[in-house]
Amino acid sequence: MKISIIQSDLFWEDKTSNFDTLGEMISPLYGKTDIVILPEMFNTGFSMSAERLGEPPEGETFNWMKSVAESGNFGLCGSYIIKENGNFFNRWVFIAPGNDYHYYDKRHLFMGGEDKLFSPGKSRMVFRFRNVRIFPSVCYDLRFPVWNRNRNDYDLVIFAANWPESRSEVWNVLLKARAIENQCYVAGANRIGIDGEKIKYCGDSMIINPRGEVIASVNRGEPGVVSANISLTELSNFRKKFPVLNDADDFSLKL
């Protein structure tokens, strides 16, 4: 499977401009990749204007994603603000041709704003796409290893983020840690630029193999697209040769 990450600046609370810019970056990938990964809140930036920017589950952004996924014949994913049953969710959405649709609501809401406006997700989610088992996480979720623990149930974890430059070293270290401890591929998609709250982002989007080695990355601070092939055969052989997951401690999550 080939996976691709889009690293871009985001227009603050401007969906149309983000659709146009991201669409231009994505179009060269049509028919050439299996999954295209966008950052967290890719259509607005990390805005707390949930009442104004929130959409129904199958609204404007959903329809844009569906159109792009159908045109490109790939899965397209990223998070944006959803309003449902009176609640707001930072929802990671995956859409692929043929009505293949999955979503995950961000579990760990960031302190100081998001945690007061949004509702946390209540369940972990793993789904299969083109024979790869995928586990989605969003930004702050990266800090919580128990939430991300592989129970021999996934091959690839995707992190969509708006992760500030001031904590970039944490981003880089934890992405590698999640790959190593879970013996899985990791794809981390982060934005660049300065948002409407004057927070600066440097990107550092990357794809990491189960040994914790970066196999593809976008230049820091620059817009770009990066792709890499992931191999289930290589992953299976590595896990058989070094079966760490068999010795993992049992636990249950309290939700």
Number of Cβ atoms within 10 Å of the Cβ of 73: 15
Percent of the chain with pLDDT over 70: 100
pLDDT at residue 254 is higher than 80: no
pLDDT (average), residues 162-177: 98
Q: What is the pTM of this model?
A: 0.96
pLDDT (average), residues 150-166: 97
pLDDT at residue 15 is higher than 90: yes
Number of Cβ atoms within 10 Å of the Cβ of 193: 17
* 138 and 159 Cβ atoms separated by less than 8 Å: yes
Tens digit of pLDDT for each residue in 50-82? 999 999 999 999 999 999 999 999 999 999 999
Identify the structural domains of the chain with CATH numbers, from first to last: 2-247 (3.60.110.10)
* 109 and 87 Cβ atoms separated by less than 8 Å: no
Q: At what angle do helices 15-26 and 60-72 cross, to 10 degrees?
A: 10
Phi, psi (degrees; rounded to nearest 5) at 232:
-70, -30
For residues 54 and 34, what is the distance between their CA atoms, to the nearest angstrom? Answer: 28
pLDDT (average), residues 7-12: 98
Q: Say whether 141 sits in a helix, a strand or coil.
A: helix
Q: What is the pLDDT of residue 159?
A: 98
pLDDT (average), residues 164-193: 98
**Structure-token pair, residue 184:** 């899985």
CA distances from 253 to 7, 25, 250 (A): 33, 39, 10
Catalytic residue among 77, 139, 184, 202: 139
202 carries an active-site annotation? no
pLDDT category at 226 given cuts 50, 70, 90 is very high
Tell me what the pLDDT averaged over the chain comes to: 97
Catalytic residue among 77, 106, 114, 176: 106
Tens digit of pLDDT for each residue in 79-127? 999 999 999 999 999 999 998 999 999 999 998 799 999 999 999 999 9
70 carries an active-site annotation? no
77 carries an active-site annotation? no
Range list of H helices, the chain? 15-26, 50-53, 60-72, 114-117, 145-148, 168-182, 232-241
